[in-house]
Amino acid sequence: MDVATEVATPEHVQKAIAAGIDYLWIGARTSANPMAVENLTQALSSREGRQIKGILIKNPVNEDAALWIGNIERLEKTGIPVLAVHRGCGHRPCWAMAHQVRLARPDIPMLLDPSHMSGDSAKVPELMNKIYELGLDGAMVEVHCHPEQALSDAKQQIEPSSLAKIVESQKSKVESKKTELNWLRAEIDELDEKLWDTIAARMDVSRRIGEWKKANGVAPLQPERYEEIVERLKAPQPPKGGGLRTEFKLALWELIHEESLRQQS
C-alpha cells in the first residue's frame, strides 16, 4: 500500500524521504506561496527525491488559476509526476478556476477534494458525482474512524464505511460525454448561488432600511431615490463580456425594487 503525507518545508521533504513515503502533497496555504513551492521543488530535485512516486498540489486558498499552473510547472522540473487536487476556496467550489487549469493542462491528472470543498461530510457523496460529470481522475477524501474525535476538520470527515458505500455507488457510473458543457454548467450553478446570496443580502439591508424609515416617519417609496437609480442604470457602461441591455437591467431592477418595498412594509 502506498503512503502519502503533507509537506510544507524542505525539512518535511527530507523526513518523508527518509521514512520511505511514496507520495507527497502540498496544501492550499503552502500552494499560495510560490517561494515555499520553489523551496520544496529544490528539495525534491535531489537524487534521493527521485524515489517519490508523485506530488499532489492543491489549488491555492485564493482563487488564482495562474498561480496553481505556475506551481505545477515548478514541480514538473523535479521530473516527478505531478497531480493537481481541486479543493475549492473557503468551502466554495471555484469551478471556474479549476476549469481554467483543466483547459490549460489537460495532461495533468486532476483529483477532487470534496471534503475541503464542502466542509460538510453530508455533501461529500453528491460532490463525488462531479468526478464523472467533469471527467476528473479521482478523489482525495478525508476519512476518520471516529470523525467526532478528529483534532481538525471534524465536520467534513466521513467514516471508512461511508467511503466504501460511496465507492460502491460510483462503480456503475461512466464519464459524461458532455464534459465541457458540464464544466460550464458548474460555473453557472456557482454564479447563480452567488447571485441569490447577493440578492438575499440586499433584501436584508432593505429590511433594515424599512425599520429606519418606520422609526423616522419616512415613507417606504422615495421617488427621487428611485429615479436616481433608474438614471444610473440607463447611463452607458463599458460592456463586460457581451454587455447587458438597458431594458434587461431596468426589468430586473423593477423586480428587485418591488421585493425591496415588500420587505420594508
Mean pLDDT score of the chain: 93
Alpha helices (runs of H) in the chain, residue ranges in sequence order: 10-18, 28-31, 34-44, 65-76, 95-104, 114-118, 124-128, 130-133, 160-170, 179-215, 223-234, 246-264
Domain boundaries of the chain, sorted by first residue: 4-173, 180-264
Q: List pLDDT tens digits, range 86-104.
A: 999 999 999 999 999 999 9
Alpha-carbon distance of 120 to 142, in angstroms, equals 11
Q: List pLDDT tens digits, range 37-64.
A: 999 999 999 888 889 999 999 999 999 9
Under the banding of pLDDT at 50, 70 and 90, the label for residue 77 is very high
Classify domain 4-173 by CATH number.
3.20.20.70
Assess whether pLDDT exceeds 60 at residue 241. no
Q: Do domains 4-173 and 180-264 have the same CATH topology?
A: no
* All residues at 6 or more sequence positions from 193 whose CB lies less than 8 Å from its CB, including other chains: none
Q: List pLDDT tens digits, range 121-136.
A: 999 999 999 999 999 9
Task: Tell me which fold the domain 180-264 belongs to.
Answer: Chorismate Mutase Domain, subunit A (1.20.59)
